Amino acid sequence: MEELLNQLYEQNVLTKEEIIYFLQHLTPDLTKRLFRLAEETRKKHYDENVFLRGLIEFSNFCKQDCMYCGLRRSNSNVERYRLSEEEILECAAEGYHLGYRSFVLQSGEDFRFTEDLMIQIVRSLKLRFPDAAITLSIGERSEAFFRALFAAGTDRYLLRHETASRSLYESLHPGMSYGNRMNCLHTLREIGYQVGTGFMVGLPGQTYSHLAEDLLFLKEFHPEMIGIGPFIPHSATPLKDAVGGTVQDTLVMIAMARLLVPDALMPATTAMGTLDPIGREKALSAGANVVMPILSPLKVRKKYALYENKICMGDEPSHCRNCIELRIAASGYKIELSRGDHCNFTRTT
Ligand code: SAM
């Protein structure tokens, strides 16, 4: 085990069998050292900085029916909403005023936000906030759409692979294809986006072998951003009775991902903060280095419920900004409000 941990830290590689063995034999003491080495590794690339991204959840309409997600189209309990272009710009303006220079626009797969409308939104944001980075997290679209939005000025795209096992993926995503998800990720990369991917921990049926495949996919794809969070069962989904992921198991995955892809930007997710009041701080101490406070208007916050009891539902953006700043400082890190590009990134087109 010592040797495997050293190899992970020094060479940033493990085989699938080694990862499975490592996960099966992890002791509390080794886990502590794993977290410490992950934290050290992140500091080598990004110092003590924690990058802030303002998250704007602009639509909870979704044409997909993912078994785990509260926004799935079959959930008729959801009160659906869409923000107007003006409302999105207002959220960004409030965030910009609070110092944010990086915005993430997230939604379900809502095709009412057509290519033309998304281009208009991105162009308006870029015109008003030229020094801010724009990230989209709006699901699978066509290659032409991805190209047009990149040309309009979008900097980054987040599309978690969710699980790198084709059979597990297809059992959780009726009507969707693992191949298409992977094609989208490769297309985004080829176009020149900074790409984010990642997975959930604690999905029903997920084994160490699946988790090893997730980690090895990250290693091979080498995304600029990696989002790993616990699966939290939602009562209005077919997985309502599932056990869900734990903070501890997720921390182990974050730390291993940090060691396998040392230069990635990795969020301490809201899902971690939902399961544990200091879940995000724990993630920062296990290798994460990004936090994404919510900028969406208070009137729609509760409606964007991928899972229940999500934190920060009633907090004004300025309150979130202060709360996060205090939490980051208390953990011994420094908030960083610049665009927060990947350490090796330069846009060429
Ligand atoms: N529709 C876009 C997409 O597919 O990428 C972005 C929005 S989607 C709701 C954002 C992420 O939420 C998903 O990639 C998934 O990993 C996560 N998510 C959804 N339901 C969840 C749950 N019950 N527990 C934890 N994470 C969840």
Q: What is the pLDDT of residue 102?
A: 98
Q: Is 154 helix (H, G, I), strand (E, B) or coil?
A: coil
107 is in an annotated binding site: no
Q: Which atom of ligand 1 is nearest to the CA of 137?
A: 6
Q: What is the pLDDT of residue 314?
A: 80
Report the amino acid identity of residue 174.
P
Q: Which atom of ligand 1 is nearest to the CA of 108?
A: 1
Q: Identify the bridge partners of residue 265 per DSSP, sorted by sequence position.
A: 225
Q: Identify the bridge partners of residue 336 per DSSP, sorted by sequence position.
A: 51
Q: What is the pLDDT of residue 312?
A: 84
Q: What is the pLDDT of residue 316?
A: 84
232 within ligand 1 shell (Cβ under 6 A): yes
106 within ligand 1 shell (Cβ under 6 A): yes
Q: How far is the CA of 69 from the centre of ligand 1 (A)?
A: 6
pTM over 0.85: yes
What is the end-to-end Cα distance of the chain in Å, rounded? 45
Question: For residue range 185-222, what is the model confidence (pLDDT) as tens digits?
Answer: 999 999 999 999 999 999 999 999 999 999 999 999 99
271 within ligand 1 shell (Cβ under 6 A): yes
Q: Is 228 helix (H, G, I), strand (E, B) or coil?
A: strand
Question: For residue range 256-306, what is the model confidence (pLDDT) as tens digits?
Answer: 999 999 999 999 999 999 999 999 999 999 999 999 999 999 999 999 999
Burial class (CB in 10 A: 0-12, 13-18, 19+), 337: middle
Question: Would you mind telling me the total number of residues written for the chain in this entry?
Answer: 349
> What does the alpha-carbon distance between residue 95 and residue 101 come to, in Å, rounded to a whole number?
8
Mean pLDDT score, 53-80: 98
User: Residue 320 — very low, low, confident or very high, per pLDDT cuts 50/70/90?
Assistant: confident
Report the amino acid identity of residue 234.
H
214 within ligand 1 shell (Cβ under 6 A): no
162 is in an annotated binding site: yes
306 within ligand 1 shell (Cβ under 6 A): yes
User: Residue 321 — very low, low, confident or very high, per pLDDT cuts 50/70/90?
Assistant: confident
Joined tokens for residue 345:
């990134």
User: Residue 348 — very low, low, confident or very high, per pLDDT cuts 50/70/90?
Assistant: low
The top-level CATH class assigned to 2-336 is: alpha beta
66 is in an annotated binding site: yes
Listed in order, strand segments (DSSP E) in 191-277 are 194-201, 225-230
> What does the alpha-carbon distance between residue 274 and residue 268 come to, in Å, rounded to a whole number?
11
Q: Which atom of ligand 1 is nearest to the CA of 307?
A: 23
**Hunting for tokens 């971690």 — which residue is that?**
272
231 within ligand 1 shell (Cβ under 6 A): yes
Q: How far is the CA of 253 from the centre of ligand 1 (A)?
A: 17
Question: For residue range 73-123, what is the model confidence (pLDDT) as tens digits?
Answer: 999 999 999 999 999 999 999 999 999 999 999 999 999 999 999 999 999
| Cα-based torsion angle of the residue sequence 212, 195, 171, 82 in order, rounded to the nearest 10 degrees | 140
**Residues whose CB is less than 8 angstroms from the CB of residue 349 and which lie 6 or more positions away in sequence, other chains included:** 150, 192
Residue with CA at minimum distance from ligand 1 atom 14 = 160
Max CA distance (Å), the chain? 56
What is the arrangement of strands in the sheet containing 334-336, beginning at the earlier edge strand? Answer: 290-291, 49-52, 334-336
137 is in an annotated binding site: yes
Residue with CA at minimum distance from ligand 1 atom 20 = 69
DSSP annotation string for 75-93: -TTS---B--HHHHHHHHH
Q: Which atom of ligand 1 is nearest to the CA of 244?
A: 24
Q: Give 99 or 320, the one with higher predicted confidence.
A: 99
Q: Is 229 helix (H, G, I), strand (E, B) or coil?
A: strand
> What does the alpha-carbon distance between residue 183 and residue 139 come to, in Å, rounded to a whole number?
12
Q: How far is the CA of 57 from the centre of ligand 1 (A)?
A: 12
